[in-house]
Chain A
Amino acid sequence: MKRLIAYFLIGSVPFFAQEIKFPASLDKLAAKAVESVDVTLDSSMLKLAGKFLSGDDPDSAKVKKLIAGLKGIYVKSFEFSKEGEYSEADVEAVRSQLKAPGWSRIVGVRSKRQGDNAEVYIKSDSNGIVGLTIVAAEPKELTLVNIDGPIDLDQLTDLGGHFGVPKMDLDRSAKPKKAEPK
């Protein structure tokens, strides 16, 4: 009977537990964008993906390890035909959430696709990094990534290109020392 109740609960629990809330205004940007992609992978989907990733293939094994403890990956990306299609307020609605305690901006990480304008924020507690948000705001492109859960920055590059996360480059020389609290 307990199992039955569990099945019902699994089916009925709202999946949403995303810590950084992407504002509803971003959904309206999809209508202006030439292309937009919205990916929502909660812990159950990530567990499922991890369950079947091959441990034999080195690349898959890295990704499998990386997503093992994650609670969610949320990606929103927009590509516009001209500049000025999104406002600073659209992005600020996300940035303001990253001023909460525990969040800090790091430098030395850049997106291969987005150039140097990617801001990377991490959330830390006594156990280490427990969340990461990327805000890549280009004149004609906007990409927001929220990774909920413990993640090793050195492995972030391995996640790029998977689950809708853009490919990232890590500038290891700059990363560890230049954290600037927001």
Chain B
Amino acid sequence: MRPPRSAALFFLFLSVAAFAADRDFNALVKSIESHYGTNRVRIPLLGLTKAFVKVARPYGARQLNLAVFENLPAPGDADLADFQALLREVGPGWQPLVRVHSRRDSETTSIFARPAGRDIHLLVATREREEATLVEIQVTEQLLARWLVDPKRMGECIVVTGDKEAPDCDQE
């Protein structure tokens, strides 16, 4: 039996959307690599990185892409601003949600969202110490709704770096 045409078109749409999301992620990775003259840490070596990066995977979240950049110059004010500027090149369809910038901690985090069928893709970019992290996760609407109530903490809920404690973010 042939699948209904609308279902086939829907899956085609999802494939196109997934391709676009990957393309945007890879484009940002290339921008960061080019800006800092470095390469992302290869996946088999991620476990050996100095930068301990943990992506939270509460119920309703699925990691899609992860890129970690090490040995970057320690971030000064100008660098944090440059990093934010790089993120403006994110592809169309990504909505800026939250940006938290801290000179006190030399840290900046930006989160973008994009609808993906019934779920939402979140792109989270952080820059701190000598590292930068780019993460794309897929979350259910329900999980994002819980995180939206306190958007300032959302970044901490998704990416935990260094020796920071993972906050308890996925409580109902």
User: Do they bind each other?
Assistant: yes
Which residues of A are in contact with B by a Cβ distance under 8 Å? 1, 3-4, 7-8, 10-12, 14-15, 30-31, 33-42, 44-45, 48-54, 63, 162-164
**Known contacts being A48-B144, A49-B149, A164-B152, is A8 close to B97, with CB within 8 Å?**
no
What's the Cα separation between A4 and B120 when bound, in Å? 17
- How near does chain B come to A24, taking the closest CB pair, in angstroms? 11
Within B81-140, the residues touching A (CB, 8 Å) are 81, 84, 92-93, 95-104, 113-115, 117, 120
What's the Cα separation between A35 and B104 when bound, in Å? 7
- How near does chain A come to B156, taking the closest CB pair, in angstroms? 13
Establish whether residues B98 and A38, one from each chain, have CB atoms under 8 Å apart when the complex forms.
Answer: yes
Establish whether residues B103 and A49, one from each chain, have CB atoms under 8 Å apart when the complex forms.
Answer: no
Chain A residues contacting B6 (CB-CB under 8 Å) are 1, 3-4
Contact partner of B77 among A3, A31, A42, CB < 8 A? A31
Establish whether residues B151 and A163, one from each chain, have CB atoms under 8 Å apart when the complex forms.
Answer: yes
Chain B interfacial residues counted at CB < 8 A: 38
Within B26-80, the residues touching A (CB, 8 Å) are 77-78, 80
B9 within 8 A of A: yes
What's the Cα separation between A1 and B172 when bound, in Å? 37
Contact partner of B99 among A37, A51, A163, CB < 8 A? A37
B10 within 8 A of A: yes
Chain A residues contacting B101 (CB-CB under 8 Å) are 30-31, 33, 35-38
Chain B residues contacting A35 (CB-CB under 8 Å) are 100-104
Establish whether residues B148 and A48, one from each chain, have CB atoms under 8 Å apart when the complex forms.
Answer: yes
Contact partner of B81 among A15, A31, A53, CB < 8 A? A31
Chain B residues contacting A42 (CB-CB under 8 Å) are 95
Residue of B nearest to A15 (CB): B95
Residue of A nearest to B104 (CB): A34
B15 within 8 A of A: no
Chain A residues contacting B19 (CB-CB under 8 Å) are none
Residue of B nearest to A39 (CB): B151
**Known contacts being A37-B99, A164-B151, is A8 close to B77, with CB within 8 Å?**
no
